[in-house]
Structure 1
Amino acid sequence: MLYSIPLLFLALVSKGVEGKWPNGKNILDKYNFVVETGNSLEVGALRDHKERNSVWKESHHHIPLVNIPPAKDGAKVARYIVRNSEWGSLASISTVEGIESFPFTDVYSISDGPLNNSTGVPYFYVTPLDLTAKNIEEDPRSSLSLTLAEGHYCEENNFDPEDPRCAHVVLTGKIVKVKTGTDEEIFAKGAMFSRHPSMKSWPKDHNWFFAKLEIKKICLLDYFGGVKMVNVDDYFHSGD
C-alpha cells in the first residue's frame, strides 16, 4: 500500500517525467526514477535534500540518513570519504618477478588522523617485507582507491559499488616515509593506532614504519555525469 506522497515529490512530478510510471513500484523507486531521469533536481539532491527522509519514510523501507556532503561540493565529498575510510586499495608499480611494471594492488589500512583531527593525508603502517613496500621503494608513484561501499551506506540504499551514487575517490601521488623522531611520526602513530589499535601488538621484528601519500591528483565519482577532478588545495581547505 502506498502512503500519501510528500509535497516535494508532487513538485518534482508536476514538472514531468518522460514515459509512464509502472504500477507496483514503491515511492522510493519512483523518487529515484525522477532523480535519475534528470527531472527538477540539482546534482546531489538525492543524497542531501532536507526533505528526502520524509520521502523515504513513505516507502516500506526505512533507509537511514548519512551526513554526506552534497555532490556539488566535490572537495568535501572526497574529504568525507577519506575521513570515514578504514582501509583502501593501494596500487603501485610491480617489481615482482614476472609481472615487473604491471599495476599491482593491495589492501592497506589507512587513517588521515585521530578521530578529532582529520588532515586529509592518508597515513599507512608499512613493513619492508610487504610486496607493495618493495614496489614503492623502487618507484613511489601510487594510487589509493577508497569507496563508501566499505560501510553500510551503499548497501542500505541499494547502490551497487559501481553506482556513481556509491561515491568513490582515487588519490594519486607518491608514497613517502614519515621521518623518524619527528612530530609527524608521533602524529602518524596516533592516527594509525587510534583507528587500528591491534597494530600496537604487531611483530616488532617486521621493522614497521609510517608512510603517507603525497597527493598530486584527486579523481572523484559521486554522482551521475562523470568523474570530477577535485582541486588538491580545495580538498585540503575543505576540512577547515
Structure 2
Amino acid sequence: MKTTGNTIFMTGGTSGIGLELARRFRDLGNTVIISGRRKDLLDRIADEDGIEGVVLDVADPASIAAAFEQVTSTHDVNVLVTMAGIMQVEDLRDPGHVATAEQTIEINLLGTIRTVATFTPYLLKQRDPAILTVSSGLASVPLTITPTYSATKAAIHSYTQSLRIQLADTGIQVIEVVPPAVQTTLMNQENDERAMPLDEYLDETVTILQQQPDAAEILVDRVHFLRHAERENRYDDVIGVLNSVH
C-alpha cells in the first residue's frame, strides 16, 4: 500500500487507534474520511483536525449503504479501513451474556463483512485500491473475560485471509492490522502499563506500512508474543500468562 496520495474511508475513527491513525494518514498527505454514530463528535473532530466525518452505524446495513453513497459521491475513495469495533466483558455462566455477544458480532464481524462487501465492487474500479481490516493479537490467544470479542477477531483474521486470496487477481491489496493491547479507552487501558503506548504503536505501524508496502499483515513487535504463540509451541504458557492478570 502506498502511504500518501490516497483517499481513505475509515469505519470508526473517532477515538483511540482509529483517530490517531487517521491523523497520521492525513499528515502523510492523504485525504481521510472517518465515521461514527455521533455527529457532534464527528463535527468536533472536523473542526479541530480538519478530518471529515460521516455518520455511520456499522450494525445497521442501511446505514452502511447510506454512508457508502455519501462518501463515494464526493470522494474517489481507494482505501477502506474497517476500524469500528467494541470490546465488552462477558460472564459465560450468565445467559444474559448472549445479548452482549450478539452486539459484538453484529458490530465487529458483520459490520466488517457488510462494509467490505459494499465497497469491494467500487474499489475494483479504483487506482491503487486497498482494504485494511483490523483484528487483534487476541485473534490468536483469547482474553477469556472478553470471549466474543476475541472470537470476532479470530473470525476477522480468517475472513481476511480468504478475502486476500479471492481478490488476489483484482489489484486490491488486502492488509490485516493486528494491534496488541494499546493504551486507549478500550477496556479502560489508557493508563495500563501492560499496554503499548498509543504513540509508540502508531509510530511502529506507520513505519511498517512505509517500509513494507506489500505487507499482508501489520505486526508490531509487541504482538508477536500472541500471534506466534501456537506456532512456537508457547500457547499454553501464553494463555495462562495473559489471563492470569485479569
Query: Where on the TM-score scale, by shorter chain, does this alignment land: which range?
Result: under 0.3
| TM-score normalised by length of structure 2 | 0.23
Which structure has the bigger radius of gyration? 1
The structure with more helix, counted as a fraction of residues? 2
